[in-house]
Every structure is written in C-alpha cells, then in structure tokens.
Amino acid sequence: MSAARRREAITGYLFILPWLIGFVVFVAGPMLFSLYASFTDYDVTSRMKWVGLDNYVRLFTSDDLFWTSLYNTGFYVLFAVPLGIVTGLLIAVLLNQRIPGQRVFRTIFFLPKVLTGVAVLLLWLWVFNPEFGPINTFLRFIGVQNPPLWFSDPTWAKPALIIMSMWGAAGGYIIYLAGLQGVPRHLYEAANLDGASPLRQFLSITVPMMSPTIFFKLITGISAAFQFWESALIVSEGGKGGPSYSTLFYGLYMWQKAFTDYQMGYASAMAWILLVIILIITALQFYVSRRWVYYEGEVR
Amino acid sequence: MTAKPEVQAQPPATVLSRPTARAVSTLWKVIAFAALCAISAAILFPALWMLSTSLKVDTQVYANPPVWIPNPLRWANFSEAWKLAPFARYALNTTLYAAAVVFGTVLSSSLAAYGFAKLRFPGRNVLFSVLLATMMIPGMVTLIPQYILFSKLHWVGGYLPLVVPSFFAGAFFTFLLRQFFMSIPEELSEAARVDGAGELWIWWRVIMPLSTPALATVAIFTFEGAWDSYVGPLLYLNDERLYTLQIGLQFFRTATVVQWQYLMAAALMVMLPVVILFFVFQRHFVEGSSISGGLKG
C-alpha cells in the first residue's frame, strides 16, 4: 500500500470512528451482554446468577401473560401493517391524478406525520372518550344504542389503537408517491388505448411496478409493528396494559418485567425471542418476495 | 371530398371510444377528488376537535350534542394550563435537550457519512453492510443493556444517557447522508485536494455547504424525535425539575382530575414548535425529494 493510500485509509477510519465506537458501545456490546443476561437471573444491583435456559423455559411453559402479549402484538401486526400500506398507497394513487388542490391535500395528508408524541395520544383518548368523545356521540346520533367503550373495553381497545395507527399511516404516502412518479407513463397510455379500467390498471401496472416500495414498507412496517407498545403505555390507565390485558403488547410486558420488576435476565430473554421472531419473518419475506416483487431491468 | 364520409364509416375502435374514455376519466377524477376530500376530513377532524376543545368553557366540554365552535372562545385556557404545571421549565429542558441531540447527530453522522462516501479504506464495504444491518435490530434488544450500562456509570437520573449516544452517529442518518454525499461530484474534492486541502477541510468547506437540504432533513427529524421522545426521558429522568414537556404532559394528566380543555390547550402548546417547523420547511417535506432519495438508495 502506498503512503498516500495508507494515509487515506487512516483518515477514513478516523472519520467513521464516531459510528464505530457507537456501534461497539451502544449496539454490539449491549447485544452480546443482553444475550448473556438472558441466561441469568439479574436485577442490576446484585450479581448475575447463571440459570441456563430457565428464563426461556419459564416464558414458553408457565407464563400466560407472555402468550397474551404475543397474541396482542400479532393481532396488531396482522391488521395495522396491511391497513397502513393500503392507506398510504391509496392516498398516493389519488394524489397522483391531475386533480385541483393537490398541494393542499399533500399538506393535510402529511399532518399525521407532524402531529406525534404524548399530546396526540391524549387527543385520541379524548376522541375515543366513551361518554363525551365525538366518535361515540356520532355513533349514538346515527342510532347505535351502546357504542363501544373503546379503551375501557377489552374487545375494542386494540381496534381503537389500529384506527389510530391508520391515521398515522396516512403520512406514509410520500414514499409511495415518489415510487408512483417513477412508473413509466407509456404503460398507462397503452392500457388506456386497450380500454383497461382504472382498477385493472392499478392491479396490473401500479402494484407490480410499486412492488419494491411495498416490499420495503412491509419489511420495515412489520418490524416496527412488532415493537409497538409506547402508545399502549400512555393510553392504558397506569400503563398496565388496559382492560383484561387487552393492550398488553410484547414490548409493554417486557418493559414491565425490566423496569417495574427489575427482572433484567427474564426481560433480556424476551428481547431475544423478539429479535429471532423478527429475523425469521424478515427472512420469510425475502424468500416469498422472489415470487411477487418485480425489479425493473431484472431478467426473469 | 368524397373520401371523408368513408373514413367516418369505418373509424378505428379507439377513436370511437374516445369520448366515452374521456367521460370515464372525468368521472374517475370526480370520484378521486371526493375521496381525497373525505380522507382530508378524517385526518383534520381530530386536530380540529382538539383546537375546539382547547377553547371551551368546562360546561361546553361535556355538552351533548357536542359544540364545534365554542362560545365564548376561552383563550385563558392556554395561560391557565401553562401555569398548572411548571411548563416553562419543562420547555427549557426539552429545548436544550433537543438542541444537544441535533448538534451531536448532525456532527457525528456527517463525519461518518463522509468517511463511507468519499474515502477508501480496507473493510469499508463490510463495515457499511454492518451499519445497514444494525437498522434491522429492534431498539428493545439494546434498551435493557444500555440502561444497565448507564446505571453502572451512575448516569441514570440525568440527561447524559439521552444525549451522549447521539454523538456516535446513528445508522439511519449516516446512511441517508452517505447517499447524499455520494451524489456530490468527486471533481470538487479533487480540486481542493490539489490545492493542498485536508479531508477535514473538504468535509467542512466543500461537502457540508452543498448538503444543506440533506442536513436540514436530518436536523428536523432528529429535533422532532427528541422533542417527542417519551420512553427515554421517562426511564432516565426521575427528578421533577428535569422533566421534559412530554413527561410533564403525561403527569399533568394523571396527577390532576382531567380537565380536558386545559389538557388539550397544553397539548397544543407542546406540539406547536414541531408544527411551526413543519410549515416553515413544508415544501421540503411534502416534495419528499431528500427523504425518498435517501431511501431508494
């Protein structure tokens, strides 16, 4: 290696040093530590006690709340992710038409991405308020005798959270819009000449051409939905997981185990089970994607 | 002259269907416009409800049927809500915290991004793949060991655990900036190198000034993330004087009997800086060029 090349290499390492240190100290190190901790009994203050597979065995065989939280999270993933993708894609397709007021619509639809945090969750609590909230007032107005109690009802607490997530997903249209604008116009022109209906065009041109974007959103969306829990912490009274544990999501249960009960080893085992679940689902997605994701220029 | 009726007698099918095609397309646009209006209403509705509630007197808050335009408009809700908890202190804490995080993130991720985009060194591609892979790791896996680390360092209870990691270049923003830096022509850096400039100088005087759209995106997202973050401050701050606005809001809800008009007024004020930021940089966001450019890679 020449002196110049060596100097460039050293400079390069120095530039990425902040990331490299951060990776070791805040990602890789903690992950290894967490893997080790998952085989121990540990409460931060006392010494770690090696217990082997005990935590994992307990989780799978004798912890009902673990399965409840896994079920709740699965339920949320199953509904929130597809509905979110459909919402974003639908809005993007509508916005991609030559329609007056586009700029105003784009601004409005981006609003959910801006309005976040505790403030908005408190707003939703008020919107879903069983007695005085506008949703139930409206439902009573159109003749529903006993509208749902939403966050106070085990059956309706999760649907309420999914409705909230769809509202938030509206802001996701931006990524689809960028993808849509990359679809060659001549495909639609040819389809128009053949007299294909808008729905037919959507299914035969838009979806295949957008499949890489949809795939990206599916991977990231599923991973994010598996980690959904902060809203439940704020929305459910006292952050305990709502009525009859109906909003005890996986992350919320892990949070309780770690920072309420200080069972750090047990919670670490939960974290690793989650990581494995996400990895398996992502790998499956990549495997299945070969059948439906279409990349332009790819020889088939 | 005589040919004309003949052409009309046997027109191609597409020409015949053109008026109907136009009608279908107009109809489709009307449907699309109506759908856009309906979705807009669904999106705006909660926000307007919040605004409306924040201006009501308490009797109107619980009125049935609901009142949409309060009468009188009670602006005093805002000043009274602000005084119910030490929000001025929370606001100062949150501002300083967000500013530190933005500074740390922009500085460290742009340095790392420059290294990955513009400099050659052995193992660069492997390390970059590692960086990409870390984006897939759930934050929950590192949450517990990081807490243990900070508690061993005796940092729990203050802002250090919330601020220090931002100085070590997160994967997503490093990736986003690296994509942007790659698009800057190498000739500019070469010219500076010929003049004897060092890499640090080139990063600061050539690359950074040309990257303001990308840097602004990183800064805005980071600011919003810090301003809205709840779990981190909840976990690490236990002194009431150090609370951020988000923690303040939540405690304000549980500690007092819920008075929705005050709660909505306070929530609106807490959201305001992010909303203002959005409207100032609206074009940037809604066009989405730098965001999608980074994601499409």
Residue A94 is part of a domain; what is its CATH number?
A: 1.10.3720.10
Q: CA B185, CA B167: separation in Å to the nearest integer?
A: 28
What is the average per-residue pLDDT within B204-215?
Answer: 92
Examine the fold and report which residue of B46, B73, B100 is the final residue of a domain before the chain moves on. Answer: B73
Interface of A with B in 10-69 (CB under 8 A): 10-23, 25-27, 29-31, 33-34, 37, 44
Please return the burial class of B178, using the count of CB atoms within 10 Å of its CB with bins 0-12, 13-18 and 19+: buried
Q: With an 8 Å Cβ cutoff, is B17 touching chain A? A: yes
The pLDDT, as a whole number, for residue A300 is 47
Q: CA B290, CA B217: separation in Å to the nearest integer?
A: 7
What is the average per-residue pLDDT within B216-227?
Answer: 92
Nearest CA in chain A to B135: A220
Please return the burial class of B8, using the count of CB atoms within 10 Å of its CB with bins 0-12, 13-18 and 19+: exposed
Indicate yes or no: CB of A117 within 8 angstroms of CB of B246. yes
- Asked whether residue B13 is assigned to any structural domain, the reply reads no
Q: Nearest CA of chain B to the CA of A87: how many Å?
A: 10
Nearest CA in chain A to B104: A18
Q: With an 8 Å Cβ cutoff, is B127 touching chain A? A: yes
The pLDDT, as a whole number, for residue B231 is 93
Q: With an 8 Å Cβ cutoff, is A100 touching chain B? A: yes
Nearest CA in chain B to A6: B121
Interface of B with A in 219-238 (CB under 8 A): 224, 227-228, 230-231, 235
The identity of residue A10, as a single letter, is: I
Q: How confident is the model at residue B16 (pLDDT cuts 50, 70, 90)?
A: very low
CATH number at residue B209: 1.10.3720.10
- Asked whether residue B22 is assigned to any structural domain, the reply reads no
- Asked whether residue B5 is assigned to any structural domain, the reply reads no
Q: How confident is the model at residue B17 (pLDDT cuts 50, 70, 90)?
A: low
**Closest residue to B39, CB basis, from A91, A124, A126:** A91
Beta bridge partners of A50: A40
Work out the angle at residue A159's Cα, subtended by the Cα atoms of residues A81 and B138, and round it to the nearest 5 degrees.
Answer: 40
The identity of residue A78, as a single letter, is: L
Task: Tell me which residue of B191, B161, B49 sits closest to A122, measured CA to CA.
Answer: B49
Tokens of A205: 């041109």
Interface of B with A in 48-67 (CB under 8 A): 49-50, 53, 61-62, 64-66
- Asked whether residue A118 is assigned to any structural domain, the reply reads yes
Tokens of B178: 């690296």
> Which domain range does residue A272 map to?
62-290
Q: With an 8 Å Cβ cutoff, is B136 touching chain A? A: yes
The pLDDT, as a whole number, for residue A183 is 87
The identity of residue A178, as a single letter, is: A
The pLDDT, as a whole number, for residue B157 is 94
Indicate yes or no: CB of A97 within 8 angstroms of CB of B17. no
Q: What is the pLDDT of residues B157-169, one digit of tens each?
A: 999 999 999 999 9
Q: How confident is the model at residue B15 (pLDDT cuts 50, 70, 90)?
A: very low
* All residues at 6 or more sequence positions from A93 whose CB lies less than 8 Å from its CB, including other chains: A176, A180, A202, A206
Tell me the pTM. 0.89
Give B121's DSSP letter: -
| DSSP symbols for chain A | --HHHHHHHHHHHHHHHHHHHHIIIIIIHHHHHHHHHTTEE--SSS--EE-TTHHHHHHHHH-HHHHHHHHHHHHHHHHHHHHHHHHHHHHHHHHTS--TTHHHHHHHHHHHHHS-SHHHHHHHHHHT-TTT-HHHHHHHHTT-SS---GGGSTTTHHHHHHHHHHHHHGGGHHHHHHHHTTS-HHHHHHHHHTT--HHHHIIIIIHHHHHHHHHHHHHHHHHHHHT--HHHHHHSGGGS-SGGGTT--HHHHHHHHHHTS--HHHHHHHHHHHHHHHHHHHHHHHHHHHHH---TT---
Q: CA A268, CA A59: separation in Å to the nearest integer?
A: 11
- Asked whether residue B18 is assigned to any structural domain, the reply reads no
Indicate yes or no: CB of A123 within 8 angstroms of CB of B199. no
Say how many domains are in chain A.
1
- Asked whether residue A20 is assigned to any structural domain, the reply reads no
Q: With an 8 Å Cβ cutoff, is A132 touching chain B? A: yes
- Asked whether residue A212 is assigned to any structural domain, the reply reads yes
Q: CA B2, CA B9: separation in Å to the nearest integer?
A: 12
* All residues at 6 or more sequence positions from A49 whose CB lies less than 8 Å from its CB, including other chains: A40, A41, A42
Say how many domains are in chain B.
2
B197 and B231 both lie in a single domain: yes
Indicate yes or no: CB of B131 within 8 angstroms of CB of A19. yes
- Asked whether residue B48 is assigned to any structural domain, the reply reads yes
Q: With an 8 Å Cβ cutoff, is B98 touching chain A? A: no
Q: With an 8 Å Cβ cutoff, is A126 touching chain B? A: yes
* All residues at 6 or more sequence positions from B117 whose CB lies less than 8 Å from its CB, including other chains: B177, B178, B181, B182
The pLDDT, as a whole number, for residue B296 is 37
Per-residue pLDDT of chain A (300 residues; tens, 9 = 90+): 688 889 999 999 999 999 999 999 999 999 999 999 999 999 988 889 999 999 999 999 999 999 999 999 999 999 999 999 999 999 998 988 888 888 889 889 988 888 888 989 989 988 998 888 889 988 988 988 889 999 888 899 999 999 999 998 888 888 898 888 888 888 888 988 888 887 888 888 988 999 989 999 999 999 999 999 999 988 876 677 778 899 999 999 999 999 999 999 999 999 999 999 999 999 999 999 988 888 766 554
Query: What's the 3-state SS for B192-244?
Result: HHHCCCCHHHHHHHHHHHHCHHHHHHHHHHHHHHHHHCCHHHHHHCCCHHHCC
Q: CA A45, CA A16: separation in Å to the nearest integer?
A: 35
Indicate yes or no: CB of B115 within 8 angstroms of CB of A27. no
Q: What is the pLDDT of residues B40-64, one digit of tens each?
A: 999 999 999 999 999 998 888 887 7
Q: CA A58, CA B113: separation in Å to the nearest integer?
A: 44
Examine the fold and report which residue of B58, B73, B88 is the final residue of a domain before the chain moves on. Answer: B73
B52 and B174 both lie in a single domain: no
The Cβ of residue B17 has, within 10 Å, a number of other Cβ atoms equal to: 14
Interface of A with B in 184-223 (CB under 8 A): 192-193, 195, 197-198, 216, 223
Is there a contact between A231 and A121 (Cβ–Cβ < 8 Å)? yes
- Asked whether residue B1 is assigned to any structural domain, the reply reads no
Q: How many residues does chain B have?
A: 297
Q: CA B291, CA A251: separation in Å to the nearest integer?
A: 28
Looking at beta carbons, which residues of chain B come within 8 Å of A258? 143-144, 147
B239 and B163 both lie in a single domain: yes
B172 and B116 both lie in a single domain: yes
Work out the angle at residue A282's Cα, subtended by the Cα atoms of residues A18 and A217, and round it to the nearest 5 degrees.
Answer: 80
Looking at beta carbons, which residues of chain A come within 8 Å of B29? 97-99
Q: Pick the range with the lowest mean pLDDT from A144-158, B96-110, B280-294.
A: B280-294
Q: With an 8 Å Cβ cutoff, is A175 touching chain B? A: yes
- Asked whether residue B2 is assigned to any structural domain, the reply reads no
Looking at beta carbons, which residues of chain B come within 8 Å of A252? none
Q: CA B9, CA A299: separation in Å to the nearest integer?
A: 45
Q: CA B138, CA A224: separation in Å to the nearest integer?
A: 8
Q: CA A289, CA B137: separation in Å to the nearest integer?
A: 21
- Asked whether residue A265 is assigned to any structural domain, the reply reads yes
Q: What is the pLDDT of residues A36-54, one digit of tens each?
A: 999 999 998 888 999 999 9
- Share the mean pLDDT of chain B: 86
Indicate yes or no: CB of B227 within 8 angstroms of CB of A117. yes
Q: Nearest CA of chain B to the CA of A300: how many Å?
A: 22
Residue ranges in B62-185 assigned as alpha helix (H):
76-84, 87-118, 124-134, 139-152, 160-163, 171-182
Q: What is the ipTM of this complex?
A: 0.89
Q: With an 8 Å Cβ cutoff, is A260 touching chain B? A: no
> Which domain range does residue B54 map to?
27-73
B41 and B126 both lie in a single domain: no
The pLDDT, as a whole number, for residue A2 is 86
- Asked whether residue B215 is assigned to any structural domain, the reply reads yes
The pLDDT, as a whole number, for residue B2 is 39
Indicate yes or no: CB of B43 within 8 angstroms of CB of A115. no
B41 and B159 both lie in a single domain: no
B104 and B235 both lie in a single domain: yes
Q: How far is CA B228 from the centre of its chain?
A: 10
The alpha carbons of chain A give a radius of gyration, in whole angstroms, of 24
Examine the fold and report which residue of B48, B73, B98 is the final residue of a domain before the chain moves on. Answer: B73
**Closest residue to A8, CB basis, from B24, B33, B119:** B119
Give B66's DSSP letter: P
Nearest CA in chain A to B282: A107
Work out the angle at residue A198's Cα, subtended by the Cα atoms of residues A197 and A201, and round it to the nearest 5 degrees.
Answer: 90
Q: How far is CA A141 from the centre of its chain?
A: 34
B204 and B250 both lie in a single domain: yes
B187 and B40 both lie in a single domain: no
Q: With an 8 Å Cβ cutoff, is B92 touching chain A? A: no
Is there a contact between A93 and A180 (Cβ–Cβ < 8 Å)? yes
